[in-house]
Amino acid sequence: MTRGCFITLEGGDGAGKTLQTARLCAALEASGIETLSTREPGGSPGAEEIRHLLVSGPVERWDPLTEAMLHAAARHDHMLRTIEPALGRGLWVVSDRFVDSMIVYQGHGQGADLALLERLTALSLKDFRPDLTVVLDIPVSEGLRRAGGRGGGSRYERMDTGFHERVREGFLARARADGERYAVVDATPNLESVSRAILEIVAARLPVSFNG
């Protein structure tokens, strides 16, 4: 059986990752590819329990390294129990956030040592990485405006503007450093335009074609 492909959608708060993950999965299914939609933090029963610790409570609940280790533990369980089994069965897996979010949010955003976060990633994932990472880029003010419209903001959405600006630049820096794995999409246009841009990138990089 042919192993499936693993796609991740990344970006700051309010960029539309959750909606675009669902739309990408629907397009892949319509093209005859069985998919699994998942998310981080979360994606497995154990990781979902850790998610509650990470996204709720006061902004200052965790120091950056503690927070990163919680993310890494959740991600290891997610990979072990959800992602790898699905890929092995030939499914394509699309995740709303993955390891880049930890490195960017806790490293670029909160100041944890980037080299230490890379070592933590190597420990939790070994050499496992996405086949394609699409970064949805949006100005911080617009992203937070959209996120605020959802109500019930997470700890991260309540962090200051400077944090979110560092997060945005962190994602863009990672994309600039590795053009083979990453692609950046402007997330400011309407939903349909962003979806089309994502499908064009996926079709150009991975073995799938979309009709219509």
Confidence of residue 92 (pLDDT cuts 50, 70, 90): very high
Q: Is 57 left (phi over 0), alpha (psi -120 to 50) or beta?
A: left
Please tell me the CATH superfamily of domain 6-205, with its number: P-loop containing nucleotide triphosphate hydrolases (3.40.50.300)
Q: How confident is the model at residue 152 (pLDDT cuts 50, 70, 90)?
A: low
Please give the pLDDT value at position 148: 77
Question: Which pLDDT value is given to residue 1?
Answer: 72
Average pLDDT, the chain: 94
- % of the chain residues with pLDDT over 90: 88
- 41-47: average pLDDT: 97
> Under DSSP, is residue 95 helix (H, G, I), strand (E, B) or coil?
strand
Please report, in angstroms and rounded to a whole number, the separation of the first and last CA atoms in the chain: 28
Question: Given a cut of 70, is residue 194 above it in pLDDT?
Answer: yes
Three-class SS state of 132: strand
Quick check: 151 pLDDT over 60? no
* 16-44: average pLDDT: 97
Name the strand (E) or helix (H) holding 136.
strand 132-137
Give CA–CA dist 91/33, Å, rounded: 7
Mean pLDDT of 8-12: 97
pLDDT band at 155 (very low <50, low <70, confident <90, very high): confident
Nearest to 13 by CA among 183, 136, 185, 100: 136
**Do the strands 35-39 and 92-96 form a parallel or antiparallel pair, or are they unpaired?**
parallel
pTM: 0.94
Domain boundaries, the chain: 6-205
The 10s digit of each residue's pLDDT in 99-114 is 999 999 999 999 999 9
